[in-house]
Amino acid sequence: MGIRINPLHAIDFYKADHRRQYPEGTEYVYSNLTPRSARLAPVLDDFDGRVVFFGLQGFIKHFLIETWNDEFFKQPKDKVLAAYKRRMDASLGEGAVPVDHIAALHDLGYLPLKIKALPEGSRVNVKVPMLTLVNTHPDFFWLTNYIETVMSAELWKSCTTASIAYEYKRLLTQYAQDTGAPLDFVSLQGHDFSCRGMSGIYDSTQSAVGHLTSFIGTDAVSAIDYAEQYYNATGVVGVSVPATEHSVMCMGTQDDELSTFRRLVTDLYPSGIVSIVSDTWDFWQVLTVFAKELKQTILNRQPNALGLAKVVFRPDSGDPVKIICGDPEAPEGSPAYKGAVECLWEVFGGTMTDKGFRQLHERVGLIYGDSITLSRAQAILAGLKAKGYASSNLVFGIGSFTYQYNTRDSFGFAMKATWGQVKGVGRELFKDPITDSGTKKSAKGLLRVEANQNGFELHDQQTAEQEKQGALDVVFENGRLVKEVSLDEIRTLLSV
């Protein structure tokens, strides 16, 4: 995935010479990764201030082990030194950054780092560290914060996506319970549509695995590969369905659109689920005219081995809330006034849940995947509930409008040093800028994190013995992954 990265170059330039800027005699640097704030987070109003920790194992396996081994330790020393010197000389000035420490690292043959972390899938309180990082060999104190750039870049998005996915699942579960919808449908109700809108296929892949921590619906094929390779995923990792796009519908021509629908639901997909984009021209014609003409054909479709035979209509434009629930400003009694769910109910009918809400006939459904956000999803679900419809009448296509419109600041992720050792003496480090609101105030000294009834609690200024205790466990040490987790275990932890 992506270009072949020289791990030495996966830094901001200013990292290159921090080694000489630390005090003479520096032996250890101890840092942590913490979500510092949810002020900019795209979450629901009742968000409880906990961020999902996810992505570390994939980063360790792919970057700290595979990339460092393949592109550094297994490469000839003179080759990697020449490449590093050329890059530094060309941009910082000849000889600006010595290379003797790089040669020493190559001679060592492994990354002398130790990472302690909370279990992936933990929901971690804001301002509590998810992991700590320290060098294990005093000659390589510079390495701890040297990898901050790549560690931050690789982890914030996975954690952020997993956190937002959890919020979607929490929302969908709440409305399923309120309206009597089947809870086992929720894992399919949030479907990942984000792949094409992310910052490259590798970003999209890592982010999409974050989505899979709470859902199984996805259109990101590479995310399933990643989950299997780096998170030992087995069983049902991710699922999707046959679906059309606008080019398919357009190629069938507007005058013959009904025939395109008929061919799809009879010839190509006589059983199982098929999702058909339905707003290429007149969405309301599809739901009120074509649906009536195809009603018996759709009802006669035979279930597949999984017992499924559903035609899913997909609107892809307009105001999602109005399209699904109805537009009160449209002419009274019009399809637009009624909304998509009511239009399908009038054609196909359905059943009542045990909570007294209408559930569309099992042969039809809807998916909406354009510009969905948590707030819009909440408004749609509230609108359906107000009209007496169960939440399970709709699947949400969650795209890049949700998963790409985020930054490292969405949850205030930062990696900061809080302790170091110089000539055998420990130093407690901290920052507390007088010009800041308090968000950037860091912890101080060695850290311990304990689980409690409210999540996790940080204890700073710990002794070396206290730092060994608590919920942070060693997961990586001296080039090796020492504690492994599976996607199934992560999903289980998030379901508690």
Q: Residue 1: is its pLDDT beyond 70? A: no
Task: Report the SS3 class of residue 28.
Answer: strand
Find where tokens 């792919």 sit.
62
Q: Domain with 279 in it: what CATH number?
A: 3.20.20.70
144 contacts 133 by C-beta, under 8 angstroms: yes
> Is 191 a domain residue?
yes
152 contacts 361 by C-beta, under 8 angstroms: no
Structural domain of 236: 178-404
> Is 243 a domain residue?
yes
> Is 325 a domain residue?
yes
pLDDT tens digit string along 321-375? Answer: 999 999 999 999 999 999 999 999 999 999 999 999 999 999 999 999 988 999 9
The identity of residue 286, as a single letter, is V
d(CA 206, CA 195): 10
pLDDT of residue 436: 64
> Is 4 a domain residue?
no
pLDDT tens digit string along 208-265? Answer: 999 999 999 999 999 999 999 999 999 999 999 999 999 998 999 999 999 999 999 9
Q: Residue 166: is its pLDDT beyond 50? A: yes
> Is 205 a domain residue?
yes
181 contacts 458 by C-beta, under 8 angstroms: no
Mean local confidence (pLDDT), 134-153:
97
Mean predicted lDDT score pLDDT of the chain: 95
d(CA 406, CA 248): 32
Beta bridge pairs of residue 426: 421
pLDDT of residue 437: 72
Band the pLDDT of 2: cuts 50, 70, 90.
very low
- Token readout for 158 is 């996975």
Band the pLDDT of 158: cuts 50, 70, 90.
very high
pLDDT tens digit string along 34-89? Answer: 999 999 999 999 999 999 999 999 999 999 999 999 999 999 999 999 999 999 99
> What is the DSSP annotation of 83-133?
HHHHHHHHHH-TTSS--HHHHHHHHH-S--EEEEEPPTT-EEETTS-SEEE
pLDDT tens digit string along 290-328? Answer: 999 999 999 999 999 888 999 999 998 899 999 999 999
Mean local confidence (pLDDT), 200-210:
95
d(CA 338, CA 344): 10
pLDDT tens digit string along 404-454? Answer: 999 999 999 999 999 999 999 999 998 777 786 777 677 999 999 999 999
> Is 67 a domain residue?
no
Bridging pattern class, strands 358-360 and 350-352: antiparallel
pTM (2 d.p.) = 0.95
pLDDT of residue 431: 73
> Is 337 a domain residue?
yes
pLDDT of residue 3: 59
Please list, in sequence order, all residues whose beta carbon lies within 8 angstroms of the beta carbon of residue 342, skipping any fewer than 6 positions away. 326, 387, 389
pLDDT tens digit string along 16-30? Answer: 999 999 999 999 999
To the nearest 10 degrees (0 to 180), the angle between helices 148-179 and 201-212 is 40
pLDDT of residue 435: 81
Backbone angles phi, psi at 407, to 5 degrees: -135, 175
Task: Report the SS3 class of residue 390.
Answer: coil
Split into its structural domains, the chain has a count of: 1
> Is 301 a domain residue?
yes
Long-range CB contacts (within 8 A, 24+) of 14-23: 15/145, 15/146, 15/148, 15/149, 16/88, 16/92, 16/97, 17/92, 17/96, 17/97, 18/142, 18/145, 18/146, 19/101, 19/141, 19/142, 19/146, 20/98, 22/141, 22/142, 22/420, 23/422
Q: Residue 187: is its pLDDT beyond 50? A: yes
* Nearest CA among 376, 409, 389, 303 for reference residue 346: 389
d(CA 167, CA 170): 5
